[in-house]
Structure formats: structure tokens, C-alpha cells
Amino acid sequence: MTAKQFRDGYFRILRWRGSFRNYFATGGFDGVFLALLMIILISGLIMMFSASYVYSWYERGDPYYLFKKQLIYTAVSLVAMFIISHIRYDVFEDSAVLALIAAAVLLVIVLAHPKVIPGKEEFRRWLEVPVFGTFQPSEFAKIAIIMYCAWAMDKRRREVETRLWVTIPHLAVIAVIAGLVYKENHLSGTILILAIGIIMVFLGGSKMQIFAIGFAGIVVLGIYAFASGYIKDYMGERIEVWQKLLQNQELTAAEAQGEGWQILQSLYAIGSGGLLGMGFGNSNQKHLYLPEPQNDFIYAIVCEELGYIRAIIIMLLFLLLVFRGIYIALRCKNRFATLLTLGISFQIGLEAGLNMAVVTGTVPNTGISLPFFSYGGSAMLMLLAEMGMILSVSRTVEKKPAKEKSANEQA
């Protein structure tokens, strides 16, 4: 393989294609998708403010401190979304491998030089970025995995569908990235990257046997983890707390003050909401009971203030966004674009679902944020960049993407 073939096979982005017009996506984007997104985004911002102002006041002396930062992040991210929505998705396709490598490099760097946040010394998730502040490479790793998988599943679609072994290197790539994230002490990120990767491989058409084998492997691994005492040692208490709360049992004082504190306070918050909620801004649990209510447990404050009906409506909004993404994906004629859009959509659905499951104690506690709601700059930037990608894809839905593709190949 010549260098040019290598470049065109894996790093096509490095080849300049002449006019900017060749990179510029035209056509109308999907209005429904954007509308849903904006509803969720604005709801998220408002609730982020409500959940954060007590914490901001006590920690920073300014109730708007976190809200203002989040507003700036969101504004910057919306600009990024706008720009990305005007980039033709083949740019994403061409840069998929580069993105994966960049993600891997960043993950290595963060392991070597993490920014240590006081009180969270055991986590190595954040990189110090000038101007921007902190950045979580694992956030970028998610989109990189989606891009890479979509690229890979598109490029070798026939082999993937017929030969078992073709999938294995891709799974290995996913495993490596997931492993790096795991090394950051980022369990939820690991789970998400694994889940997204597996869904991408699944949607890519891999043979079912590989999943049967994988499922068997997971079961074996699970049994091993349980038998070797790993789960008991590292997650035993967490799981015990989860089981007790799910069965309405009282926690011991040590549990209630320790491992169970956050989830217990979350349940107090959610339970206080009832059918109609305490009213916007009226959460009691955000008054320093629920630790960092603006982050992973923001949905508890949503439930407390807005009540069951509105909490379910927010849940439905996420589902609708996901389904609108699926709708766009399935109407798209380009396989990469389809897989990319599906991956992003399912990522949103996965994160939202997992977050709500954690907050409600449906699954054991693992730190995972709620898209568009939780406070955090890198997550917001990545999410809206992804939304930009979907919007970019949506511009091509009504046209003939195949034709354009052939035009590119001619150039």
C-alpha cells in the first residue's frame, strides 16, 4: 500500500479537495429535531440554574456563578454546533480515524498529566486547557468511537456482514479506548464507550454469533468478578445499598452517612416531588443535602421541583429526540451518516436513561451526567457538536446523498 493509498484509506481528510464549497453542507436541516433539542437545552439550562444556585452561593458567594459559566459554555457550544451543522458529513467520515487516534492520545495524556481537582484526587479525568478550563477527553472519546465505528462498519460492510473475524479488530479498538477510560477511574465512561461501541458494531451488521460469544464472555467475566471477590471488595457496599433502597429497607447509619448518602438524598429529593412537585426553585434537598445537585443528580432536583408528570415529560423529550435522530438516520441514504446519526442518538438515549436509572436507584450508583442538563463544559461542547453532526446529516436527507458522494469521488 502506497502512502497515498494509506492516506486515502484512513486519513482522507488530509487531502485538500479544492473549494470550501466541497466541505460546506447545504439544504435545510431537520426543524423538528432542532426544536426538540432547543426545548431540552433550555429546560436543562433553567433547571441547572435552579439546582446550582445554592451550591454556587455557598461555594462561590454568587448564586449565578455556575449558571453564568454554563451559559457561556452553552453559547460557545451552540456556535460550534452551528458551524458543524454546515460541514458536510463526509468530512466527519474522512476524519474518523484521526479522531480516534486523537482521542487515544488525549486519553494517554490525561493519564499522565491529569488536572487534579481537590476532593477528587483519585480521578484522572480532566485535562487542563488554556482559556477553556478543564476538558474531559472521555467525552471526546465517545464521539470518536461513534465516528470510527460508523466509518469502519461502512467501509467494510460486506465483510462485516459475512465474516465473523472482521469485527474483532474493531472490538479490540473499542476495548482499548474503554480500557484507557477505565484507567482514568471513570467507570460510567467505560460502560458508555463499551455500550456505544457494541451498539455501533451491532447496528453495523456484524454477525449475531459475535454477540453470543461476547455475551457468554461477559457472563463468564461477571461470574469470575463475583467469585474472585472483586465486586464485593470494590462495589459490595454500593450494591448492597442499591439493593436495600430498591427494596425499601432502612440503611445502617454508616451506610446512610457514607456510600448511601448521595443516593439516599437523591431519593428524598425525588420522593418529595410527588405528582406535581414542590414548585420551580423550591427544592429543599439542593440546600447542601444532595452533593453537587447541578451535576449527576440534577434529575433528582428536577423530580423534586417539577413532580412526576413533568419528570416523565422530560424523559419523553429525550426519547423523542432519540427517535427523531433514528428517523433522520433511517431516511439517510449514506451508510456512514446513518450509523453516525444512530450512534449519536443512542448515545444521548443511553446517557439519559442510565443517568435517570442511577438517580432513581434503579441501577447501582455510578457517576454519569444527564445530557444538556448537568453542569459541565466539555460535555456540553461535545453534545452540541454531535447535535451539529446530526443536523448536518439531516440537511441531506431529502436530497440524493449518493449522487453527491460520487461527485466527491470524482474530485
Partner 1 sequence: MAKRTTSQRLHARVMLVAAAMVLAFCVVAVNLARIMLVNGEEYKNKAEQNQLQDKELKPTRGVIYDKNGTVLAQSASAWKIYVNASSIPDNEKVRDFIADKLSSVLEDVDYETVREKTDESKSSYVVIKNRVEYDEKEAVVSVLDDKVTYTAVKKDDEGNTVSTSDKTFKLRLAVGIDDDVIRYYPYGSLASCVIGFTGSDGEGKGGIEAFYDDVLKGKPGRLITAKNGRSETMSNEYETVYAAENGAGLVLTIDTTIQRYLEEALEEVYVSSQGAGAYGIVMDVNTGAILGMANVPSYDLNNPYALTEDQKKEVELLEDENEQNEAKRGFYYKNWRNFLVSDTYEPGSVFKIVTTSAALESGTLDESYSYSCYGSIAVADQVIKCHNHSGHGYQQLREGLMNSCNPFFITVGQRLGQETFFKYFEAFGFTEKTGIDLPGEATPVAGSTYHPLDDMSIVDLSSSAFGQSFQLSAIQITTAISAIANGGYLLTPYVVEKTVDSNGNVLTEKQPVIKRQVISKETSQTVTSMMEDVVTKGTGKNAYVAGYHLAGKTGTSEKLSLGKGHYVASFGCFAPAYDPKIAVLIIVDEPVGYINGGQICTPIAAKVVENSLTYMNVEPQYTPEERAELDTPMQNYAGTDLRSAVADLEESGYTVETVGNGDRVTSQMPPYGVIIPKNGYVVLYTETDAEKITTEVPDFSGYSVYDVQAVARSVGLNATVSYNSSTNKNELVSYSQSIAAGTQVSKGTAVKVYFKTNSGVADFG
- Binding residues for partner 1, rule: CB under 8 A, are 54, 58, 157, 161, 199, 202-203, 205, 246, 248, 267-275, 284-285, 287-290, 303, 307-308, 311-312, 315, 318-319, 322-323, 326, 329-330, 335, 338, 342, 346, 349-350, 353, 356-357, 360-362
Residue closer to partner 1, measured from CB, 189 or 204: 204
Residue closer to partner 1, measured from CB, 1 or 121: 121
Residue closer to partner 1, measured from CB, 135 or 373: 373
CA 172 to chain centre: 20
8 A C-beta contact, residue 285 and residue 265? yes
Give the whole-angstrom CA distance, residue 307 versus residue 270. 8
Give the whole-angstrom CA distance, residue 214 versus residue 202. 11
Burial of 14 (0-12, 13-18, 19+ CB in 10 A): exposed
Least distance to partner 1, CB of residue 410, Å? 25
Q: Take residue 295 and report the three cell numbers written for it.
A: 451535576
Least distance to partner 1, CB of residue 280, Å? 15
Residue closer to partner 1, measured from CB, 73 or 297: 297
Least distance to partner 1, CB of residue 335, Å? 8
Helical axes 167-183 vs 137-155, angle rounded to 10°: 180
Distances in Å between the alpha carbon of 227 and those of 222, 231, 233? 8, 8, 11
Q: Take residue 11 and report the three cell numbers written for it.
A: 486519513
Characterise 7 by phi-psi region: left (phi > 0), alpha (psi -120 to 50), beta (else): alpha
Least distance to partner 1, CB of residue 344, Å? 13
Residue closer to partner 1, measured from CB, 95 or 167: 167
Give the whole-angstrom CA distance, residue 161 versus residue 249. 49
8 A C-beta contact, residue 317 and residue 40? yes
Residue closer to partner 1, measured from CB, 227 or 312: 312
Q: 128 pairs with which residues across the strands? A: 134
Least distance to partner 1, CB of residue 367, Å? 17
Least distance to partner 1, CB of residue 119, Å? 15
Least distance to partner 1, CB of residue 130, Å? 35
Give the whole-angstrom CA distance, residue 265 versus residue 288. 10
Residue closer to partner 1, measured from CB, 137 or 273: 273
Q: Take residue 152 and report the three cell numbers written for it.
A: 469502519
